[in-house]
Amino acid sequence: MEVKIGVQHAPREIVLESGQSAEEVERAVNDALAGKAQLLSLTDDKGRKVLVPSDRLAYVEIGESATRRVGFGAL
């Protein structure tokens, strides 16, 4: 699952591949925005944790992982 996180006052977004389901990511975002948690905490496929202060969240985009194409084929 690909997750893109926009952070206020940051020029780039955070992009990570997560093994968590869309519902788990959405629940973590809702908890952070509702004030239940001060940090949005997500874990990527390699086991690294990404922590973002909940008051700095601009947006979170949850989507399926895109398959990467290799080669010179017609699109």
Quick one: DSSP state of residue 18?
A: B
Instruction: Tell me how many domains the chain contains.
Output: 1
Q: What is the CATH number of the domain that holds 54?
A: 2.30.30
Q: Would you state the pLDDT for residue 64?
A: 81
Tell me whether residue 75 is in a domain.
no
Q: Which residue in the block uniquely carries the two structure tokens 């874990």?
A: 43
User: Residue 22 sits in which domain range?
Assistant: 2-63
Tell me whether residue 71 is in a domain.
no
75/69 Cα distance (integer angstroms): 10
Threshold 0.85, pTM exceeds: no
10/21 Cα distance (integer angstroms): 26
17/9 Cα distance (integer angstroms): 23
Tell me whether residue 72 is in a domain.
no
28/62 Cα distance (integer angstroms): 12
Kindly report, residue by residue over 10-61, the tens digit of the pLDDT: 999 999 999 899 999 999 999 999 999 999 999 999 999 999 999 999 999 9
Residue 42 burial by Cβ neighbours in a 10 Å radius (0-12, 13-18, 19+): buried
Tell me whether residue 74 is in a domain.
no
Tell me whether residue 30 is in a domain.
yes
Give the model's confidence band at 9: pLDDT under 50 very low, under 70 low, under 90 confident, else very high.
very high
Considering only residues 70 and 1, tell me which one the structure prediction assigns the higher pLDDT: 1
Q: Would you state the pLDDT for residue 1?
A: 87
